[in-house]
A and B are shown apart, each in its own frame.
Chain A
Amino acid sequence: MRTSIRWALVLMLLLALTACGGQGGEATQAPAAEDTTQEATAEVQPAKEIVFYNWSEYIDPEVYDLFEKETGIKVVEDNFSSNEELLAKLKGGVTGYAVIVPSDYMVNIMIQEGLLAELDHDNIPNIKNLAEEWRNVPFDPGNKYCVPYQWGTTGLGYLSDQMDEPQTWAVLFKPNPDAPWYGRATMLDDARESFAAALIYLGYDPNTTDEGQLKEARDLLIQAKPGLAGYDSDTYEDLLAAGENLLAHGWSGDFLMAQEDNENIAYTIPQEGGVIWVDNLCIPASVTPEEKLAAEMFINFILRPDIGAKISEYNYYATPNAAAEKLLPEDFLNDPTVYPPEEVRAKLHFLKPVGEAEALYQRLWDEVKAAP
């Protein structure tokens, strides 16, 4: 008797859960805006609230307030910390994100996996503000799926009062126990980025799928290990600012942001070259039509010149927005750290998907990490 009651309870619980699921789905769809100033013929009205899945501290929070004031749409921010993590979440079936910010090579992968929705350019007229070179990027010709958000480079940050400007990646790959930065340097905890540094130093293509070249790069990375304090993608710029480390492999804007704490922090791209990347605003394929419209309105808003300039002033990364550049101060535009000069640009490489070799990269990276 008692058991059957329990079973009934469990059944009810399960039913309740499925019901909740349904209800939640509707809740996230968010009914159409109440003010009916739009024409009655408009089929879709923008969602009232959207979730922006972004890297952390990558946008001036004021932008949300301005957007809400103008459109009545509230933006909630969620953060991820790597492209792979973003992909894992989307592949895992997490829905509800309206705008995401994958980097170049990840856009490739996501398009291939059918995870992105095509943009409706009619809703994003400000796309015309983009600089010519960002209108036709190889990973997404014609901005069919994405709009470039900010771009930057990967190179070496260092404390200029403690060491000379590092000219070559050898400062990491040929560790010298007498160098002041021996044991006080970090590399990114990121398979693709660290392999790219080693491959570039060796004079190979950073997107190589050649096993021999990759193994050579692995040996080089293992050789560098005794001179490293650790692998760190999160706090390396703080460690420089605090004087714990003298040298760090990392992303340009991070070092510039850390200059607020320690003016001796400098950034350079070694003579062998480095990595260039661009993060992009995209819409996942799983969005509802209401969310998609609101997302496109948000993307359009970000592409406004004043908003684009505001974002660059906040995160110290270069903007792909030509109209926004006009509003940025002269010394920002002339800063070689933000806008590398032509001869340096020529030595920068984009990371590209490596397909089946992905597994090889990860496996060799595990070998590096496990090496004594």
Chain B
Amino acid sequence: MSAAAHAYLNTRVSIMATRLLAADRVSGLATQELSELSDRFGLGEVLDAQLPTHAKSRAVEQALIQSLLAEVNVLIRPMNAVETALVLSWARKFALFNLKALIRGKLHHLEPSAIRDHLYDLPPRLRLSNQALFRTENVLELLRELEQGPFSLIARQAREVYEQKREPFALEATIDQRYYAELMRQIMQFQGASLQPLRQLFGAVLDRVNLLWLLRFRLTYQFSPSETFYHLIPSPRLLHRERLLALVNLDSLPQVLEVLPPPLGQLMADADSIIEVQRRAGRHLVTEARQILSQSASGVARALAYLILREMDLATLLTLIQGQLLGLPVELVSAALDQAAPEAVTIH
């Protein structure tokens, strides 16, 4: 990237970062009326539409995703090809949402219109070839069709796994795993000033994902250590390969939390449930992302840190609006926010 493009990107990110919600502003938003929220975040048109509550909630979610992807579009303008590819790969998670919705729809033999209701409208460069995929008759055909496009690697692996196991879980786990593995592969292609902050940022993302998956797979789904390890993605930071090999052999939450390296160990001390771990790991990610946003010199790392934080903010906003649409008490919505916000950064 040229110096001018780099300066432009950094300025852009700094301007956009002023939109991020500070923690104290979130609690203020929880007490605001729906009309105030819609005016403030430009959702008036969606919220004013004559739609049932579920459809309205869905439309709000769609509008928020589109606003995030519009920002992605702005941020990639000055980037070079490798940086653009990385940011688009990150944003491809929304296409994978659609892919999973299609797979679930095919598995449960849903009508095309029912499947369509669960799909996000995405810009062309992120979109799956929805029409062709819609017309497939089963999951295998769908994955074969997907193998023809940019998702070929994910689709091929997913199909091979599905052919062997015939389990939706294995299929979705493979899709998620390939998504993160591809991100890491692209990051390792970077050289120079961007490599370290990107490793730091996505290290934090993967540490969080690994910890949650490890706990769920081992303790909730009772997977064997081998199988659990196979579904994890070694992080370039705390939860690297050797540490994961050690952690998957442990059988209880306290045992796992006890041997976590600092600062995760201190952060998770006394956490008594996976939900609590999820909440604290989410906060850790926010801290890491904010640090990169404020201190890093790499434009692409700052852009991705901003997008991760922005996505969390939009998820918070969505929770608030959904709470209001359903007429839930403010306390309940605030409690849900406390639990749910970090979930925005995982594709599970």
Chain A partners chain B: no
Interfacial residues, chain B to chain A (CB-CB below 8 A): none
A residues whose Cβ falls under 8 Å from a Cβ of B:
none
